[in-house]
Chains A and B, each alone.
Chain A
Amino acid sequence: MVMRCLGALSRALLHMFPRKRPAGGEVEEGVPREAVVPKKLKVECSKSEVAADGNHRPPHGMACDSNGRNGADIDEDLHSRQLAVYGRETMRRLFASSVLISGLNGLGAEIAKNLALAGVKSITLHDEGIVGLWDLSSNFFFYEEDIGKNRAVACIKKLRELNNAVMISTLTGELTKEHLSDFQAVVFTDISLDKAMEFDDYCHSQHPPISFIKSEVRGLFGSVFCDFGPEFTVVDVDGEEPHTGIVASISNGNPALVFGVDDERLEFQDGDLVVFSEVQGMTELNDGKPRKIKNARAQSLILEEDTSHFGAYEKGGIVTQVKQPKVLQFKPLRDALSDPGEFLLSDFSKFDRPPLLHLAFQALDKFKHELGCFPVAGSEEDVQRLMAFAISINESLGAGKLEEINQKLLRHFANGSRAVLNPMAAIFGGIVGQEVVKACTGKFHPLFQFFYFDSVESLPVEPLEPDDVKPLNCRYDAQISVFGSKLQKKLEEAKVFLVGSGALGCEFLKNLALMGVSCSQKGKLTITDDDVIEKSNLSRQFLFHDWNIGQPKSTIAASVASSINPSLHIEALQNRACPETENIFDDALWESLNIVINALDNVTARLYIDGRCLYFQKPLLESGTLGAKCNTQMVIPHLTENYGASRDPPEKQAPMCTVHSFPHNIDHCLTWARSEFEGLLEKTPNEVNTFLSNPSEYTSALKNAGDAQARDLLERVLECLDKEWCENFKDCITWARLKFEDYFVNRVKQLTFTFPEDSATSTGAPFWSAPKRFPHPLQFSTSDPGHLNFVIGASVLRAQTFGISIPDWIRCPLELADAINKVSVPDFQSKKGVKIVTDEKATSLSAASIDDAVVISELITKLEGCARKLPAGFRMNPIQFEKDDDTNYHMDLITGLANMRARNYGIGEVDKLNAKIKAGRIIPAIATSTAMATGVVCLELYKVLDGGHKLEDYRNTFANLALPLLSMAEPVAPKLNKHQDMSWTIWDRWIIKGDLTLRELLQWLKNKGINAYSISYGSSLLYNSMLPRHRDRMDKKVVDVARDVARAEVPPYRRHLDIVAACENDEGADVDIPLISIYFR
């Protein structure tokens, strides 16, 4: 019986109702027993697959699908970053997919790695060849001792270690069509065109079709072809969230005109389908029927619907985009070859390349077919043969014939064609890995159908001599055949600083080890990362395994990289690179470097490293990923602008008043929940501890401040130690129950008391108009799981801050409910109501309530009284939010806070996973785009280390594998500043030798026709022409002023200090002068 994806999928779907993950090996009801076979069995099962001839079929059927993942269970701790990209449904489909990868060169290895990390059901590796020296240039699974083994077999152990939930098997004999029927997707990295057409014809004609992908990397050239069958449905074409908008009005008409609220832009496009909800008045629109729109604008859209006879619009309404599936009709390879359609273009400066490469790859196939080998690097004879094949194929094309064949490009193609280079494998491994995910899940738009790419700019500036590309019988022979041994030597002797050892860092280390960078005693790779390995890292950071959890990232990554290439000369540090560690990452280290590679996950660190590279004039290779997107930026001294020269707009944040009182979506509720969590469990306990560790200093500081903020702080500290003091767990329950009342009942009642539902603004418009939503208080009930979970989360965490142990009875629902019900909850009284009774307060302010100083004194007296009664040495335990520990109740409380608030405002609630992704600001991340980014960067690394490349040789990249889109462009040159006959860029520095005074410094600038009005050192102001007291500093040495003002000594090893001067020319126009270095000793 052949089990096909639909069968497996529908069976999985049967069991897809929501459920918790099984804990402690429990078998849950509703899950077929076979699906939860204990782990042990799985190990045996997979062992038997490789045994014997290693030619077993991929395992299928429940008997062997023993990983407990019949589609329903996703290990959220492992896959949280990937879930943030794909969502649960896509992951489930992925978990049900079996994939064949044929051809275990570097490209095959990269694809296999990316798919194992993603978590497909099974991967079958096919290769008939054996590991050779040339494979060591790109396949990181192979160690030198693997030479001579079958390629597929040599990969299996390490591939399995990447994700033991994926079944890995091998095929080492000749592949036939019949083998293919077991898979949802098949990938070929090294197959002749004839064979490819035969296999693709078979895949294309199956029901359902098998997705077929053919990809090759040949030197600095690469290709992909996809055929997902005659009718392939794309479920999600771009991976973006559906757009939503808040309705302000809808007309009765045909068509109808819809306006959105003023302060939010609508982001729909013409032709989108939308649904409406919560519309009042014109309730006919709430029927859930998708309707088409046109004339989509920022504030309005036209709805293709006759609403003339609908009810009149009153208020409210949310309009949501309905994402439409798209059906693609793929052509089989046989037809597409002669009629390739539009090529995906990656570089507008190379718009004419794809048709030429389409031809070149066919010519290479012909060459191999006729001569039984690849063209030899440096052989002019082979270049001419390849050229002849290309010409003859071109002649046969008729109408599609190329006018001219670029001979120079074809020469490069022929010379490097035997080599599989690691950076190219990393790029294409990312692209193809993503295409397989698309084929198996329908998530994201497939590549349709051909893609060609080259990076000839990576070749050395000086032309290569045949002697230079001759093999040296070493592991770098493939790379040498393309770049020559001179560049190879430069790579091996490079001194590199790799900043970060996370997802990008792991990929980079693998790439650098394979390329031989810093792999001689003269070379040195310094890597640093202050983080330790967590479970959520393992789905991308492939140098780490589950037995490494808790160990330092950089050390583990370095040791694994050293086993990939034992010559790697690497030092691993565990420090964050930041201003505080400049004694470790000192001037001597920086000055020794040839190149710096960022593998960071935050902008602050990137800007810091950028500043250091700018200062020490070092090339910086920068990259970053976000879900399926990635970007790379080259920062080359004097050639390009620096990283900090251009910035993304800061992230949009919800307005404070919205978060505070008027949330209208779940994000607002989650932001509020995060901030309440921090206030209750981290800030206030910290404040209490600050008070307790030095009461007199604390109180006198607040007394001095004497303002509302000081009063607020004191009130909180006092509350914690007095009224809300927790002695035992019951007190914590009381506190939690009263917090519920405060947050979700009293505050809402107060707000709706202040602003009743019918209140109007000064202009007479209703106050509660969109986007504001009118809230309703909750009625607490122990039978509501949401209420109960909130109280559990809050009381457990409260207990932790007081060092109270958690009793077992909280797990017993009855006892818990009983304890909660015993809490006496006072009735709500509105604050304003109180004021109306004591009437003089309402109109005029009483002295007691307004004189903060008096209140502060009273509070301090009370607080001191309280402190005396505390147990000696009492301190609270502040809790820092940690999203990734599923057992710590943090996410439970945040989800509870957010969802109860959402209920108040009638906003849809969020599940714990999505709450974690949003509140934990989890950056969506997948292995494919990460690997690809590092491959693109390493193509640039060749250019930097070769030296002498011009700006037009470099490329910055933006890619989105979901679309798919790959866009490469020349970096931007740095801004040139001019003054009189001088010119400079940000890379320049002015150097002054001598220990001069401020006055002398100003004069030195004056002599250049520049007037400095402000001089600073770091964030300290040394001189400002407007401040009279700074005039006293004029005759002091600059270094002394800097020391006094910034309160920092220049380190003894440094002979200079750097200052920034803000200047004008004689006409009063600003002159942006370079940094000034004063060599004072």
Chain B
Amino acid sequence: MSSPSKRREMDLMKLMMSDYKVEMINDGMQEFYVVFHGPKESLYQAGVWRIRVELPDAYPYKSPSIGFVNRIFHPNVDEMSGSVCLDVINQTWSPMFDLINIFEAFLPQLLLYPNPSDPLNGEAAALMMRDRPAYEQRVKEYCERYAKPEDAGAPPEENSSDEEPTEDEYDSSDEDAVPGNPDP
């Protein structure tokens, strides 16, 4: 493992190299957004989410904080706050994990195999346990309603980070952006 000071840069680089769209706010490396597509063969496969990633000062020793920005109907994701209850991100995090693990493995697994026994969204969990068809319908409705590519801030067709114009759009429209000139 490389020195911790470079882990943010390496992790970001790996994400971008794997064609994830990373949306930075004024080139800060502590907080950014990543566009995440629902895994294939899952109920969520048509959905696109904007995931807020916050790297704490102690990253990678301390786990990153991960949240869904646009809504998702899922037993382990809080509907209002977007917080995720997932042991590998919260309890069993190890500095050996990196961001690519989260987007390639942890989140897809979570969407493929929700765990209604430890729910954060009780309604979703109860529906999943009791009325599977209604649950599946609700998940899909949420995807159509809230998780279209434009809801995630992504243009309709898939894009890598090479899209210069969209990048600047985020810079200027984002609520967290510091007022002032975007990057030169």
The answer, yes or no, to whether A181 is at the interface (CB within 8 Å) is no
Task: Report the separation of the CA atoms of residues A1020 and B141 in the bound assembly, to the nearest whole angstrom.
Answer: 39
Question: What total of chain B residues lie within 8 Å of the partner, measured CB to CB?
Answer: 68
- Whether A1060 and B6, one on each chain, are in contact in the complex, defined by CB atoms closer than 8 angstroms, is yes
Q: What's the Cα separation between A1033 and B163 when bound, in Å?
A: 17
Q: Is the CB of A653 within 8 A of B91?
A: yes
For the complex formed, measure the closest distance between the CB of A246 and the CB atoms of chain B, giving whole angstroms: 14
A1060-1071 vs B, CB cutoff 8 Å, 1 = contact: the mask equals: 101000000010
- Please tell me if B118 contacts chain A, counting CB pairs below 8 Å: yes
> CB < 8 Å: which of B29, B85, B91, B125 contacts A1020?
B29
Partner of A650, one of B6, B62, B120: B62
Bound-complex Cα distance A832 to B127 (A): 11
6 A-B residue pairings within 8 Å (CB atoms): A604-B57, A656-B83, A709-B82, A767-B117, A1027-B167, A1033-B184
A759 close to B (CB within 8 Å): yes
Q: Which residue of B lies closest to A700 (CB)?
A: B175
Number of A-B residue pairs having CB atoms within 8 Å of each other in the complex:
156
Residue pair A701, B5 in contact (C-beta under 8 Å): no
Q: Decide: A761 near B129, CB < 8 A? Known: A832-B123, A844-B141, A1072-B6.
A: yes
- Indicate with 1 or 0, residue by residue over B64-94, a CB within 8 angstroms of chain A CB atoms: 0000011100001011111101010011010
The answer to whether A660 touches B120 (Cβ under 8 A) is yes
Contact A759-B129, Cβ < 8 Å, known A1016-B9, A1019-B28, A1019-B30: yes
Does B105 reach chain A (CB closer than 8 Å)? Answer: no
A1024 within 8 A of B: yes
A1028 within 8 A of B: yes
For B2, list chain A residues within 8 Å (CB): 1062, 1070, 1072
Q: Which residue on chain A has the smallest CB distance to residue B162?
A: A1028
Q: Which residues of A contact B130 (CB under 8 A)?
A: 759
Check B147 for interface membership: any CB of A closer than 8 A: no
B123: chain A residues within 8 A (beta carbon): 754, 832
Choose one: B126, B129, B167; the contact of A1029 (CB below 8 Å).
B167
Interface SS majority for chain A: mixed
Q: Please classify how large the interface on chain A is, using the bins under 10, 10 to 19, 20 to 34, 35 or more.
A: 35 or more
With A658-B118, A1020-B29, A1070-B2 already in contact, the answer to whether A708 and B129 are too (CB < 8 A) is: no
A residues neighboring B (CB under 8 Å): 263, 603-604, 607, 644, 647, 649-650, 652-653, 655-658, 660-662, 701, 704-705, 707-709, 711-712, 751, 754-755, 759-762, 765, 767, 772, 832, 843-845, 850, 852, 986, 1013-1014, 1016, 1019-1022, 1024, 1026-1029, 1032-1033, 1036, 1044-1045, 1047, 1060, 1062, 1070, 1072
B41 within 8 A of A: no
With a cutoff of 8 Å between Cβ atoms, the chain B residues found around residue A772 in the complex are 117
* Residue B40 is within 8 A (CB to CB) of chain A in the complex: no
Known contacts A655-B87, A708-B82; is A1029 also within 8 Å of B16 by CB? no
CB distance from B146 to the nearest CB of A (A): 8
The answer to whether A1024 and B129 have CB atoms under 8 Å apart is: no
Do B76 and A657 touch (CB < 8 A)? yes
Q: Tell me if B10 and A1020 are in contact (CB < 8 A).
A: no
**Docked complex Cα distance between A711 and B137 (Å):** 24
Whole-angstrom CA separation of A1019 from B82 in the bound complex:
25
Q: Which residues of A are found within 8 Å of B5, using beta-carbon distances?
A: 1060
Compute how far the CA of A1060 lies from the CA of B3 in the bound complex, rounded to whole angstroms: 11
Contact A1072 B81 (CB under 8 A): no
| B81 with A709: CB separation less than 8 A | yes
Bound form: Cα–Cα A905–B133 in Å: 32
- Across-interface contacts of A712 in B (CB, < 8 A): 80-81
Given contacts A709-B81, A1014-B12, A1070-B2, contact A1021 B122 (CB under 8 A): no
Residue of B nearest to A756 (CB): B126
- Whether the Cβ atoms of A655 and B91 lie closer than 8 Å is yes
Within 8 Å CB of A759, what residues of B?
126, 129-130
Task: Among B30, B116, B122, B175, point to the contact of A661 (Cβ < 8 A).
Answer: B122
CB distance from B67 to the nearest CB of A (A): 9
Q: Does A1062 contact B126, Cβ atoms closer than 8 Å?
A: no
For B17, the chain A residues whose CB sits under 8 A away are: 1026
A1013 and B125 CA atoms in complex are apart in Å by: 44
Task: State which of B4, B9, B10, B122 has its C-beta within 8 Å of the C-beta of A755.
Answer: B122
Question: Contact: A1062 with B118, CB < 8 Å?
Answer: no
Contact B184 A1044 (CB under 8 A): yes
Residues of B within 8 Å of A1060, CB to CB, are: 5-6, 9
Q: Decide if A761 touches B164 in the complex (CB within 8 Å).
A: no
B87: which A residues are within 8 A, CB to CB?
263, 655
